[in-house]
C-alpha cells in the first residue's frame, strides 16, 4: 500500500500594517492650533482655560471642520472661528488641498479621515490638560496614546 503524501502547510505571508493616512493638512492644522511640532508645547487648551471654554472651543473646531465641506467657512462670532475660517481658506481645504496621490480616488473619505485624526489629537490634548502627569490618555486611559 502506498503511503499518503502529506500536504504541505502553506504559511500565510505576513501582512504589512496599512499605511496610516496622513496629509499636509493634518500636520498644518495640528501645528497651528494644537501642538508645536518642534517644541512639543501644547497650544490648546491654554493653561488655565476653563472646562466650559474648552468644550466651547472643541465644539467650534468640530463645527467648522464638518461644515467646511458643505459651506464656505465664514468669519464667525468668535476669534477661534475666525482663525479657523481663515486657516481653512488659506489651506484650500477641503476643495483643492493636497492629498497623497494614492488616495485621490477616495478624496471625500480622506477628508473625513483628516477630521477624525484632528479630533483624536484634540481629545488627546484635552486629556493631557485634565491630567498633565500622563503622557497620553486621561484617567480612563483613552485615547491610548
Q: Side-chain half-sphere of 80: how many Cα atoms within 13 Å?
A: 20
pLDDT of residue 136: 52
pLDDT of residue 95: 86
pLDDT of residue 68: 87
Residue 137 DSSP class: S
pLDDT of residue 25: 95
Q: To 5 degrees, how large is the angle CA 99–CA 66–CA 39?
A: 60
C-alpha cell at 110: 480622506
Mean pLDDT, the chain cut into blocks of 10 residues (145 residues total): 68 80 93 95 92 93 87 71 91 88 89 93 90 58 49
Q: What is the pTM of this model?
A: 0.77
Question: With 0-12 CB in 10 A as exposed, 13-18 as middle and 19+ as buried, what is 82?
Answer: middle
Residue 116 and residue 126: Cα distance in Å, rounded? 15
pLDDT (tens digit per residue) in 76-107: 678 999 899 899 999 999 888 888 888 889 98
> Domain extents for the chain?
24-130
Cross-strand pairs, 42: 35
pLDDT of residue 129: 85
Residue 142 and residue 61: Cα distance in Å, rounded? 20
Amino acid at each position: 500500500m502506498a503511503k499518503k503524501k502529506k500536504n504541505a502547510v502553506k504559511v500565510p505571508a505576513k501582512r504589512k500594517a496599512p499605511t496610516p493616512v496622513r496629509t499636509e493638512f493634518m500636520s498644518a492644522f495640528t501645528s497651528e492650533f494644537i501642538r508645536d511640532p518642534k517644541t512639543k508645547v501644547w497650544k490648546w487648551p491654554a493653561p488655565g482655560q476653563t472646562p466650559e471654554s474648552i468644550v466651547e472651543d472643541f465644539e467650534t473646531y468640530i463645527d467648522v471642520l464638518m461644515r467646511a465641506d458643505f459651506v464656505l467657512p465664514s468669519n464667525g462670532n468668535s476669534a477661534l472661528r475666525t482663525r479657523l475660517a481663515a486657516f481653512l481658506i488659506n489651506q484650500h481645504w477641503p476643495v483643492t488641498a493636497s492629498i497623497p496621490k494614492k488616495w485621490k480616488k477616495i478624496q471625500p473619505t480622506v477628508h473625513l479621515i483628516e477630521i477624525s485624526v484632528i479630533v483624536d489629537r484634540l481629545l488627546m490634548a484635552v486629556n493631557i490638560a485634565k491630567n498633565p502627569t500622563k503622557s497620553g490618555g486621561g484617567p480612563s486611559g483613552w485615547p491610548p496614546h
